[in-house]
Chains A and B, each alone.
Chain A
Amino acid sequence: MKELLDLFLTFARIGGLTFGGGYAMLPMLQKEVVEKRNWVSEEEIMDYYALGQCTPGIIAVNVATFIGYKNKGVIGSIFSTAGVIAPSVVIITIIAAFLQNFADLPLVQNAFGGIRVCVGVLVLNAVQKLWKKGVIDKATLLICLAVFAGTMLLDVSPVVFVIGAGLAGWLVKKAGGAK
């Protein structure tokens, strides 16, 4: 029980003290999980990251699940995952409740008018990074444009595009990798 609580608290600290998840969490994980607790090795963390990116879901959650499972099985994975999301749930719920009461104030509306523009730029930056990593030849360029056009023009769930693109990647590679 003590070990489970330890898993929960360690991951709560990681979740509560890092902004942005994903790779932003890596230094914190190295310090807390590798150096302080010896739960996993440095190499294992890198493997988990690689796998966390290739498996569905939030990378930080995936890594937490891996480490919890490795140490304490299914129960351990539940405790570490609960730990990593607990600070988010508490902090965001408070902010959302606060904003709901003040959303109609002109001050808040003006502030968010500016913030939305900034978010647009942040999204554009994220897309540029993904573009550099993902669009590497003609076939991937075609997939990217097709998904973009499909999302803009059709009213279908992103699930359809995710499955379709996975299939397309498999088919292209099977056909010998178009250049």
Chain B
Amino acid sequence: MILLKLFYEFFKTGLFAVGGGLATLPFLYNMAETTNWFTAETVMDMIAISESTPGPIGVNMATYAGFTTAGVLGSLCATIGLVFPSVVVIIWVYKIMEKFKGSQLVQSVFYGLRPAVAGLIAAAGLQALYPCLIRFSGSFDPLSLVGDIQWLAIILFVALYFLIKKFNKLHPLVFIAASAVVGVLFQFGA
């Protein structure tokens, strides 16, 4: 019953991913770890494609993950699972909106949630990124450890960090496409 499980996992994601955008990343990373649906590296690919195509990132990621796991039906189940809690919660919130908006309780809960989301995304991002920067060969010998470091990837990482800071008006798509070219030229997949 993989479709039901997809629906359930993304229902959970939709219910607990607060803050939009990459808020779904920790949940996808957790799925990569606990199921054999897709790998952590695939999650990075999903982000790239979700950022480079129209539509909300969370929806794109759910569709991609669902399709990778169980084809077209999978993509539908994952996406419906993701938006289902939103629709229910929003309709409920709409009815009590005036009370909800300025509520001290809601403010306090968000005071705690915002830093937590930063921590969650940082950890998930780091765990998914590190195999791209260091490929541990299994030996703790200093020489082989130095050899494990993907220097080109680290240079690209630092360069992109400053370029994106400097040209922050440009769409991420530009940087993603440029990185693809660098990856092909320097054989990053090898």
Contacts and interface: CB of A to CB of B under 8 A. Distances in A.
Contacts of B172: 20, 122
B20 A91 contact: no
Given A134-B118, A147-B123, A122 B54 contact: no
B140 interface: no
Given A120-B129, A121-B161, A172 B33 contact: no
A110 B190 contact: yes
Prevailing SS type, chain B contact patch: helix
Contacts, number: 387
A17 interface: yes
Interface residues of B, number: 106
B33 A112 contact: no
B16 interface: yes
Contacts of B179: 114-115, 117-118
A140 B119 contact: no
Report, as a range, how many residues of chain A touch the other chain.
35 or more
Given A56-B85, A117-B188, A66 B54 contact: no
Contact of B56 (A60, A65, A106, A162): A60
A10 interface: no
Interface string A66-82: 10011000100110010
A87 B110 CA distance: 31
A48 B81 CA distance: 22
Interface of A: 15-22, 25, 47, 50-62, 65-66, 69-70, 74, 77-78, 81, 84-85, 87-89, 91-93, 95-97, 99-100, 106-127, 130-131, 133-135, 140-141, 143-148, 151-152, 155, 157-159, 161-170, 172-174
